[in-house]
């Protein structure tokens, strides 16, 4: 690294160490990003400081946000808690871990542009180390948490809803309590293709792959490859490895 590059790196690290989502922190982040390409070009900034990179245009609203080291939060990301805006049954809001009202992002997590992480009553979101969530995804948690393990890859446009609406006859949908079949759990190393929707009570097993556009309403076993609108299990990744071994 030449002298000029060292000076630039020190400049950026200096301001990133003072960055954050306060007005002063946003200004510091803007100064750190001078001359840096947008979007994926900001990834290296997150590695320069343990405080990571939080885009000045990101919105952090009334939420207990806990960040690991070197986290990247991209442009126009929204991380928010909307307590008091949903109908839930009396006594239904849970306690325990992950703590309701909290969003936890592990080390080296990337949340890309225009993704929303939102909490309603009883909601919580936990995302494990090294997981990447691409642009324009929606994670909306109420009653039960959304728990995403380490090293998970989530393609653009995926949606996660850890709750459902009541649909009893004779009462408008908007006036009915929320309900849930249970938490959403995405285990380590899973990969979700573009536009996957995951509903409440679903566990996607370790290393599973879900094809683009699937709606996941039931558990996916570890190592499975699930495709089609109903996310039907088509094969296991271990089967693919066996084919490679035989043909290699």
Per-residue pLDDT of 83-118, as tens digits, reads: 765 555 555 555 566 788 899 999 999 999 999 999
Q: Which domain holds residue 32?
A: 1-52
Same domain, 35 and 89: no
Which of 46-50, 191-195, 235-239 has the lowest average pLDDT? 235-239
Q: How far apart are CA 95 and CA 91, in angstroms?
A: 11
Same domain, 216 and 160: yes
Same domain, 82 and 173: yes
Same domain, 140 and 233: yes
Which comes out higher in pLDDT, residue 193 or 241?
Answer: 193
Q: What is the pLDDT of residue 1?
A: 67
pTM for the predicted model, two decimal places? 0.88
Q: What is the pLDDT of residue 83?
A: 78
Task: Give the residue among 199, 197, 204 at the shortest CA–CA distance from 229.
Answer: 197
Mean pLDDT score, 63-80: 96
Counting the structural domains of the chain, the total is 2
Q: How far is CA 18 from the centre of its chain?
A: 25
Q: How far apart are CA 47 and CA 64, in angstroms?
A: 23
Q: Which of 15, 34, 52 is the last residue of a domain?
A: 52
Mean pLDDT score, 212-229: 94
Q: What is the pLDDT of residue 177?
A: 81
Same domain, 26 and 122: no
Same domain, 85 and 187: yes
Same domain, 17 and 137: no
Q: Which of 37, 52, 67 is the last residue of a domain?
A: 52
Same domain, 194 and 223: yes
Mean pLDDT score, 10-38: 94
Q: What is the pLDDT of residue 229?
A: 80
Mean pLDDT score, 35-54: 94
Distance (Å) of CA 86 to CA 69, 93, 139, 144, 163: 33, 11, 16, 13, 11
Sign of CA dihedral 165, 176, 146, 218: negative
Task: Give the residue among 131, 83, 136, 86 at the shortest CA–CA distance from 106.
Answer: 131
Same domain, 43 and 12: yes
Sign of CA dihedral 176, 122, 134, 29: positive
Same domain, 33 and 1: yes
């Amino acid at each position: 690294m030449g002298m000029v590059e060292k000076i630039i790196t020190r400049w950026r690290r200096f301001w990133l160490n003072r960055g954050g989502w306060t007005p002063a922190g946003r200004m510091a982040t803007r100064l750190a990003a001078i001359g840096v390409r947008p979007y994926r070009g900001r990834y290296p900034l997150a590695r320069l400081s343990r405080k990571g990179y939080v885009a000045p245009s990101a919105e952090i609203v009334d939420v207990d946000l806990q960040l690991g080291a070197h986290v990247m939060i991209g442009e126009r990301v929204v991380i928010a808690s909307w307590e008091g805006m949903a109908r839930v049954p009396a006594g239904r809001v849970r306690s325990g871990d992950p703590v309701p009202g909290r969003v936890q992002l592990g080390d080296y997590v990337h949340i890309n542009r225009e993704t929303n992480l939102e909490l309603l009553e009883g909601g919580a979101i936990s995302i494990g180390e090294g997981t990447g969530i691409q642009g324009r995804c929606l994670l909306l948690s109420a009653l039960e948490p959304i728990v995403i393990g380490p090293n998970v890859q989530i393609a653009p446009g995926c949606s996660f809803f850890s709750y459902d609406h009541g649909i009893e006859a004779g009462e408008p949908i908007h006036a009915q309590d929320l309900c849930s079949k249970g938490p959403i759990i995405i285990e380590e190393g899973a990969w979700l293709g573009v536009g996957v929707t995951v509903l409440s009570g679903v566990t996607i097993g370790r290393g599973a792959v879900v094809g683009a556009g699937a709606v996941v309403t039931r558990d996916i076993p570890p190592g499975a490859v699930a495709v089609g609108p109903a996310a039907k299990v088509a094969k296991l990744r271990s089967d693919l490895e066996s084919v490679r071994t035989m043909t290699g």
